[in-house]
């Protein structure tokens, strides 16, 4: 049934960023094809996802996060190889640089986790790294960890690829269609109402609304600590030597990441004093506040890069990318169905992993919905951990900021 004012689908996904579209594809591949994705902007990938640097790193300090990232990489590589619409996935490999002995010890622990997960990593010496990134000085590195299957992609292309593949399996997409209300019947989800008054009957709603994840939770009476925290990076003017197939760089002691952007340098980082939004300070209907270019913080990213980048750190900046990715107080995703509101499912609070993690997040949503006994890790991501006990907004913001501030700290 579909007319101007009524429609129905088994599952309605709210939000057409990397997470919503990634979840749509994973669900469709698992056999859930009666899905309608609603995006309130005029196009998909219109808010936070297009701002992302597109870095995809698999080397993590926990086995679960490593496996999630490996699932994402396998999906990106498959879409790039077989898809008619490609995510522009470049498997460049990555170099992670240690500047302290504590960091070297952390690399060894990460290598043990990688080995357990079946992820290939190895330590390289400075000349080997310099062959991959000529003109950089790797002598300041006390250890260099190489992961050959890492890389980066273009988020807008990834979303287009997800949409194309999901559509082939029957998933429908509607843009300029903001959800204004969620209807409950006998305490469980029964449908949604859009801003323009369309009634859509459904059994399940998936909250993939990014920085409006808190507001969508409120539509069913739940308080979810989905806290937007500012993030930003710069792209320099082109050089005559950077090439797009050079490996992604991570310099955790300088809290920096970098990659080639065609012939330019993309460089961003995790600032020591983060800035967040109280989600109650804007409404479901509001757009997110604009972010002014913060030159002292951005210039510091370039300075922190100087031990390796030398004169490259004086390359002029051509463009600044900014946005409000969401963080949670415990730094973990919010994934799965609420036991208080059956049929209300979360794919939110991505802690700046929403693009790279999107396929793995989708996989976890499938596991949460289909497995009688999901893994302890997937269970631990349940929204119930926040909705069954009260939490404080100021404290949640402080902790969410802390997650960003300590992103590259040892053991994060």
Ligand X SMILES: Cc1cc2nc3c(=O)[nH]c(=O)nc-3n(C[C@H](O)[C@H](O)[C@H](O)COP(=O)(O)OP(=O)(O)OC[C@H]3O[C@@H](n4cnc5c(N)ncnc54)[C@H](O)[C@@H]3O)c2cc1C
> Which residues contribute to the site for ligand X (CB under 6 A)?
14-20, 38-41, 46-49, 51-55, 178-179, 208-212, 231-233, 284, 321-323, 325, 350, 352-357
* Mode of pairing for the β-strands spanning 326-327 and 227-228: antiparallel
- Largest interatomic CA distance in the chain: 66
- Identify the helix (H) or strand (E) that includes residue 95: strand 94-98
Is residue 123 within 8 A of residue 145, CB to CB? The reply is yes
Structural element, H or E, at residue 191: strand 188-194
Provide the minimum distance between the beta carbon of 405 and ligand X in the complex, in angstroms, as a whole number: 15
State the nearest-atom distance from the C-beta of 116 to ligand X, in Å.
23
Number of helices followed by number of strands (H, E) in the chain: 12, 22
CB of 240 to ligand X, least distance (A): 26
Give the nearer residue to ligand X in terms of CB position, either 290 or 311. Answer: 290
Cβ-based nearer residue to ligand X, 217 or 307: 217
Q: Which is nearer to ligand X, 134 or 221 (CB)?
A: 221
Shorter beta-carbon distance to ligand X: residue 105 or 299 = 299
Least Å from the CB of residue 205 to ligand X: 10
**If you write DSSP's letter for every residue of 328-368 in order, what string do you get?**
-TTS--EEEE-SSSTTEEEEE--TT-TTTTHHHHHHHHHHH
Residue 331 and residue 351 in contact, taking contact as beta carbons nearer than 8 Å: yes
For 403, the 3-state DSSP assignment is helix
Taking the complex as a whole, how short is the minimal distance between the CB of residue 35 and ligand X, in angstroms?
Answer: 14
Nearer to ligand X, 143 or 171 (CB): 171
Closest distance between ligand X and the C-beta of residue 255, in Å?
Answer: 14
Minimum distance from residue 13 beta carbon to ligand X (Å):
9
Query: Distance between CA atoms of 148 and 94, rounded to whole angstroms?
Result: 6
Q: Which CB, 98 or 266, lies closer to ligand X?
A: 266
Q: 143 or 230, CB closer to ligand X?
A: 230
SS3 labels along 374-391: CCHHHHHCCCHHHHCCCC
Q: For 198-225, give the DSSP string.
A: -EEE-SEEEE--GGGHHHHHHTTT----
């Amino acid at each position: 049934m579909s007319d101007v004012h009524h429609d129905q689908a088994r599952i309605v996904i709210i939000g057409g960023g990397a997470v919503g579209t990634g979840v749509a594809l994973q669900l469709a591949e698992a056999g859930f094809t009666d899905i309608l994705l609603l995006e309130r902007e005029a196009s998909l990938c219109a808010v936070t996802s297009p701002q992302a640097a597109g870095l995809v790193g698999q080397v993590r300090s926990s086995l679960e996060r490593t496996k999630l990232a490996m699932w994402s990489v396998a999906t990106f590589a498959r879409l790039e190889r077989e898809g008619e619409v490609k995510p522009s996935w470049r498997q460049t490999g990555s170099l992670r640089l240690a500047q302290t002995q504590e960091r070297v010890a952390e690399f060894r622990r990460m290598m043990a986790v990688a080995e357990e997960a079946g992820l290939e990593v190895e330590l390289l010496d400075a000349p080997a790294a310099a062959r991959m990134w000529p003109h950089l000085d790797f002598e300041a590195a006390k250890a260099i960890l190489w992961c050959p299957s890492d890389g980066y992609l273009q988020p807008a292309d990834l979303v287009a690829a997800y949409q194309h593949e999901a559509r082939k399996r029957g998933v429908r997409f509607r843009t300029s269609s903001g959800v204004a209300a969620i209807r409950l019947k006998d305490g469980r989800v029964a449908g949604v109402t859009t801003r323009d008054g369309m009634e859509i009957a459904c059994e399940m709603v998936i909250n993939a609304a990014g920085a409006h994840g808190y507001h969508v939770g409120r539509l069913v009476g739940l308080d979810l600590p989905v806290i937007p925290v500012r993030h930003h990076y710069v792209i320099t003017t082109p050089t005559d030597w950077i090439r797009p197939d050079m490996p992604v760089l991570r310099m955790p002691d300088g809290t920096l990441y970098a990659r080639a952007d065609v012939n330019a340098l993309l460089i961003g980082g995790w600032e020591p004093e983060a800035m967040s939004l109280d989600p109650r300070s804007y409404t479901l209907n509001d757009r997110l506040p604009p972010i002014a270019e913060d030159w002292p913080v951005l210039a510091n990213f370039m300075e922190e890069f100087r031990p390796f980048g030398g004169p490259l750190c004086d390359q002029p900046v051509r463009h600044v990318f900014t946005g409000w990715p969401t963080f949670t107080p415990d730094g973990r995703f919010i994934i799965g169905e609420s036991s208080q509101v059956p049929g209300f499912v979360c794919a939110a609070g991505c802690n700046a992993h929403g693009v790279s993690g999107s396929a793995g997040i989708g996989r976890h949503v499938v596991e949460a919905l289909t497995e009688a006994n999901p893994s302890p890790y997937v269970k631990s991501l349940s929204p119930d951990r926040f909705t069954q006990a009260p939490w404080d907004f100021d404290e949640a913001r402080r902790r969410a900021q802390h997650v960003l501030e300590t992103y590259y700290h040892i053991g994060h």
